Amino acid sequence: MSVRHRIGNLRTAVSCAVVAVLLPAAAGFVAAPARAAVSEYAWAWPSPYSAGTAGSTAFVALVRGPAGSIYAAGARDGAEPGTPAGAGLLAVRVDAVTGARIWSRSTRGPGGHGALATAATADRRRSLFVVGAAAASGPDVGLVVKYASSGRLVWSRRFAGSRRGPSGATAVAADARGNVYVAGFVTGARTGRDAVLLKYDAGGRLRWKYVLATAKADEFTSLALDAGGDPYAVGTRFADAAYSQVVTVRVRANGRLRWRRYVDLAGTRSVGVKVVVRGSGATAGVYVAGARTGTATGDRVVPRLGKYSLAGAPLWGAPLPVTLSTLTDMAVDREGRIVFVGGGYDATDGQACGLMGFVDADGTLSSTRLFSREESGVADGVSAGLSRVVVDSSGRSYASGWVSVAAGGAGTSAIVVSRPADDGVVAFDRLWRYDGPASGEHDRFTPLLVVTAGEVYAAGSSDGRDGVVQGVVERLGSAASR
């Protein structure tokens, strides 16, 4: 089984196709249905950056680059979609003003085998780190690659467990000294899949490895650093084949475990989705997003958001009074308020739609909003979904996703939708839409990047009927187009 498929196993646990149930306002929040079309805004670049048609490409990460540029990371030419076999890890640097390519690099795994990116970050010197997995003569191995801002390959490292079996990276973060932390999984000798957290210094030397191993399967899926450089990872601990818990760990910069916390959401499966560290001193917090699925909830997904102190003390946390079909991402603003995105179905017509929700700093769910085909303004749209969310310094929230087009069931339009700060009913007021050059393509935005307030980028892929997938990057403009 490929690393992308194994990573996808946890994603699948929070993506059951079911009807989203929004509780009435009496439950403590406003559930505002979506109807009127959102004003569409133009893109800032004359045309999107495209990785070209020489082979299939897709971008999975956006990172702030040196002044006036951004990085995008993904993969090119996978022989089997979503697997490292035959693929090259793709990294590009793009001019932030024009969208023109500055450089592009394709790096393969050890022995010339394929490689696949899952996440990326940059350090203070704007060196780019890309992580993922590489095919090998045996099972997939984890891969960590460092590029200089000039595009030069500085070093490449791989990691694996003590037993023959797949390994891979799912998240990455860099500290102020150029050290890089990598989260993911390896295969242990007696414990199967184990969650792993690794630290490499700026020169690529492995400084330490922290492994969380149970008798079944474990995996870290998200990673964040505090102001002092300590890493925090969240993931899933499988107690047995049908039961799991959300696990959060804080590891000191020297590799020693500071604390570990488990949350049982009283479902067949509880899955860790995202960790964010915000603030400093007494106001600092570790925010964790998880989801409950399984027999206790039918096939529905119940999100659970929580906050710990940096010392690991639980401050608040409980399942939210809302059920979803997916929980895909979470962001936290400067005031400690949370915005999350996922998906469900519009109860009025049964069509899939996106959902954005807001949680106050004390953990109270304040409002939710559906994003449906009506708000997209796509005349022949039939469904919609939201994938990722970011918040800029002004408090404006941006969510990426897609709108399905009805004509012949042909494909999707990639979209970004936003809402202003301090909007109690989560009214979306801006939308950016991308349709690829070929008719019938499947276009979708996933990664988002905020550089400053109002300077936001989106990336994803455009899948044409000719079978060639093009990775695309766009910059959001500030002028209305309709």
pLDDT of res. 296: 47
Read off the pLDDT band of 467 (50, 70, 90). low
Instruction: Select, from the ranges 5-19, 145-159, 276-290, 425-439, the one with the highest average predicted confidence (pLDDT).
Output: 145-159
pLDDT of res. 436: 79
What value does the mean pLDDT of the chain take? 83
Nearest CA-CA partner of 263 in 287, 236, 245, 283: 245
Task: Return phi, psi of residue 27, to 5°.
Answer: -80, -5
pLDDT of res. 297: 44
Higher-pLDDT residue of 383 and 35 is 383
pLDDT of res. 463: 75
pLDDT digits (tens, 9 = 90+) for 62-103: 999 999 999 999 988 744 444 555 578 899 999 999 999 999
pLDDT surpassing 60 at residue 407: no
Read off the pLDDT band of 5 (50, 70, 90). very low
pLDDT of res. 482: 57
Read off the pLDDT band of 26 (50, 70, 90). very low
Task: Return phi, psi of residue 221, to 5°.
Answer: -120, -10
pLDDT surpassing 50 at residue 168: yes
Side by side, the strands of the sheet bearing 243-251 are 217-225, 231-240, 243-251, 257-263
pLDDT digits (tens, 9 = 90+) for 40-54: 999 999 999 988 656
pLDDT surpassing 80 at residue 303: yes
Q: How far is CA 163 from CA 186, 221, 369, 402, in A?
A: 9, 21, 46, 40
pLDDT of res. 18: 28
pLDDT surpassing 80 at residue 313: yes
Higher-pLDDT residue of 185 and 3 is 185
Read off the pLDDT band of 114 (50, 70, 90). confident
- What does the block give as tokens for 245? 């818990």
pLDDT surpassing 70 at residue 460: yes
Instruction: Select, from the ranges 160-174, 204-218, 222-236, the one with the highest average predicted confidence (pLDDT).
Output: 222-236
pLDDT of res. 432: 94
pLDDT of res. 36: 73
pLDDT surpassing 50 at residue 13: no
Quick check: helix, strand or coil at residue 450?
strand
Amino acid letter at 433?
R
Beta-strand ranges (E) seen in 96-140 are 101-107, 115-122, 128-134
Nearest CA-CA partner of 390 in 430, 371, 417, 363: 417
Of 209-218, 264-273, 435-444, which range is least confident? 435-444
pLDDT of res. 85: 54
pLDDT surpassing 90 at residue 411: no
Higher-pLDDT residue of 404 and 477 is 477
Taking the alpha carbons at both ends of the chain, their separation in whole angstroms is: 46
Higher-pLDDT residue of 22 and 301 is 301
Among all chains, which residue has been given the structure tokens 């002092």?
228
pLDDT surpassing 50 at residue 327: yes
Read off the pLDDT band of 198 (50, 70, 90). very high
pLDDT surpassing 80 at residue 437: no
pLDDT of res. 64: 96
Beta-strand ranges (E) seen in 163-205 are 168-174, 180-188, 192-200
pLDDT of res. 380: 66
pLDDT of res. 11: 32
